[in-house]
Amino acid sequence: MTVRAGIAGAGMVAAVHADAIRRAGGAVIGVAASTPERSKAAAARLGADLAFHSASELAVSGEIDVLHVCTPNALHGPLVRAALAAGKHVVCEKPLSLTGTDSDELVALAAESGLVNAVPLVYRYAPLTVEARERVRAGQIGAIRLIHGHYLQDWLARPEDNNWRVDPAVGGASRAFADIGSHWCDLVEWISGHRISELTAAAQTVLPRRSAAGHETFAGTEAESPATRSPAQDATESAQIAVTTEDAVQVLFRTDRGATGALVVSQVSPGRKNRLWFEIDGAERSVSYDGEDPESLLLGGRDRTEIVRRDALSPGAGRINAVPAGHPWGYRDCFAAFTEDVYAAIRDHSASRDHSTSRGPRTAAEPAPAYPTFADAARTAHITDAVLTSAAHRSWIEVS
């Protein structure tokens, strides 16, 4: 069965979804951007068959089986609701919604629907993060004592850098943490099996004013090219807007299983492009990983430190791995492997629907899906909420 996909949104990550859809054996049926004209341009660019007038139209279209939500964050909740109501499976970019509470509601709606719901927390799909998880779960590093790391970028380091994510009405109250800190927390919780239970945080908006014109460091493909910009736009170039979302966050935390940790998140660290780095220190060994260099995992030990490569992998990591060690694993390979898992679930859902009576919500007895779901995204939303609250109160707070 060729899974028929629609993509709401037309920026950089929409192109990544389109690529992954094809690799997973799906078809990019339709695309919807912010205007009908942009939808047409996006459909041509992404190789989609159809350009939809609007995302809400796409969400309920009979042409698609699954909706990929790649719009600015504020639209996630409404589109997910519409798609689920129309019986569509949903792949929604994180954050699932702007608050933990609303995210919980979407989790509940998805569960009731019995439809496949997924969020591309794609760092779970690098073979060596899976390997880290399997080794930690197998007890190779011993009891976990300390978890620490950072997630650093530089694309918002300058006052002239701007983006819809900076605006809380569009991107949500948290920016740096919701955007990348959430990935870090999801990944280390997933690998360690620990959950962050309590935290204290500080958050800073180091650039309280940014250019209104908005310079997108990685050319958002929806943005007008310079050639088409009007004099009016140039005139507003020097206009500034006030910024309230955070550029950087620091967190201390404790886990439900007694480990402690620290995390630094920043989108204003010059020279750091997408550095997701973590170290988990166990009683026997440590495991550390740099997402910018997914070809190696470091397994530290007092007498011996090992570089683990994509050879001789554990079964779980071997399941993901598709090219021999030394042939680099890309970011889009993570996306493809994620989408393959999700589409397998969609095909399985269709098959069960075709051959049996209606499939209800997943029961407690069923194992959790292999892929990250709305529930995982809601989990990161609650951590994000706790970070903002703690930073405002300057005190330790429990994560709900």
Question: Nearest 5 degrees, angle CA 24-CA 26-CA 28?
Answer: 125
User: In the range 316-335, which residues lie near a second copy by CB under 8 A?
Assistant: 322-333
Nearer to a second copy, 86 or 155 (CB): 155
The two beta strands, 196-204 and 66-69, are unpaired
Considering only 68, 175, 210, 285, the residue that binds a second copy (CB under 8 A) is: 285
Considering only 85, 312, 351, 368, the residue that binds a second copy (CB under 8 A) is: 312
Query: What are the angstrom distances between the C-alpha of 228 and each of 41, 223, 224, 232?
Result: 14, 10, 6, 11
Which of 394, 377, 389 shows the shortest CA–CA distance to 173?
389
Strands (E), 110-235: 117-118, 144-152, 196-204, 209-211
Q: How many residues bind a second copy (CB under 8 A)?
A: 89
User: In the range 358-397, which residues lie near a second copy by CB under 8 A?
Assistant: 394-396
Q: Does 353 participate in binding a second copy (rule CB under 8 A)?
A: no
Q: Are 13 and 93 in contact (CB under 8 A)?
A: yes
Binding mask 166-205 for a second copy (x = CB under 8 A): ----------------------------------xxx-x-
Q: Does 305 participate in binding a second copy (rule CB under 8 A)?
A: yes
Q: Does 221 participate in binding a second copy (rule CB under 8 A)?
A: no
Cis peptide before 294 (omega within 30 of 0): no
The two beta strands, 27-32 and 50-51, are parallel
CB of 174 to a second copy, least distance (A): 16
Q: Which two tokens stand for residue 222?
A: 């929806």
Binding mask 65-104 for a second copy (x = CB under 8 A): ----------------------------------------
Taking the C-alpha atoms of residue 16 and residue 168, their distance in angstroms, rounded to an integer, is: 25
Nearer to a second copy, 34 or 217 (CB): 217
User: In this chain, which stretch among 91-99, 112-120, 165-173, 260-268 interacts with a second copy, using CB under 8 A?
Assistant: 260-268
Q: Does 303 participate in binding a second copy (rule CB under 8 A)?
A: yes
Q: Are 151 and 265 in contact (CB under 8 A)?
A: yes
Q: Does 226 participate in binding a second copy (rule CB under 8 A)?
A: no
User: In the range 153-172, which residues lie near a second copy by CB under 8 A?
Assistant: 153-155, 157-158
What is the residue whose two structure tokens read 């109250």?
A: 173
